[in-house]
Amino acid sequence: MTVDAAIAAAVLANYEGQRRAMVAGDADALDGLLAADFTLVHMTGYRQSKAEWLADVRSGAMTYSSMEDVDVSVDVSGDAPVVTARTRTAATIWGASGTWPLQLRISFVHDGSAWVAAGTVASTWR
């Protein structure tokens, strides 16, 4: 396996772990997959810190019912690997429930022992 293929496999495994943890409501598992300074930019443009997002997952303010992948790609050609995933995400976010066509652009950083998500930008797609 080439270095690029190994990196792609590692970041995809991290993304899969994030999906599983989000649907399970497992903030502790999510915590281990995210960099300490991770931020999530919501489709509204709101930038949320890791601590705030995990608190919302723990409290149930953000509940993810399902995340169906429509298309997932990995780019390892730049300074940092990026996973771009188009999903149909069923969730209740701060009281608003729905199924959204979300595009998640997740950048990764190596923390010395593993690839962890440095930040996610969520937007909608059609």
pLDDT at 78 over 90: no
DSSP designation for 78: S
- In degrees to the nearest 10, what's the CA dihedral of 23, 27, 32, 36? 120
- On whether the CB atoms of residues 49 and 39 are closer than 8 A, the answer is yes
Task: Report the domain count for the chain.
Answer: 1
In tens, the pLDDT along 54-65 reads 999 999 999 999
Task: Indicate which CATH number applies to the domain containing 66.
Answer: 3.10.450.50
**Taking the CB of residue 25, how many other CB atoms lie within 10 A of it?**
16
pLDDT at 3 over 90: no
Helix residue spans in the chain (DSSP H): 3-24, 27-33, 50-59
pLDDT at 68 over 90: yes
pLDDT at 79 over 90: no
Residue 44 Cα to chain centre, angstroms: 16
- On whether the CB atoms of residues 80 and 118 are closer than 8 A, the answer is yes
DSSP designation for 126: -
Q: What is the mean pLDDT of residues 23-35?
A: 98
CA distance 60 to 69: 23
What does pTM read for this prediction? 0.95
Which phi-psi region, left, alpha or beta, contains residue 60 (left: φ > 0; alpha: ψ -120 to 50)? left
For 66, the domain range is 3-124
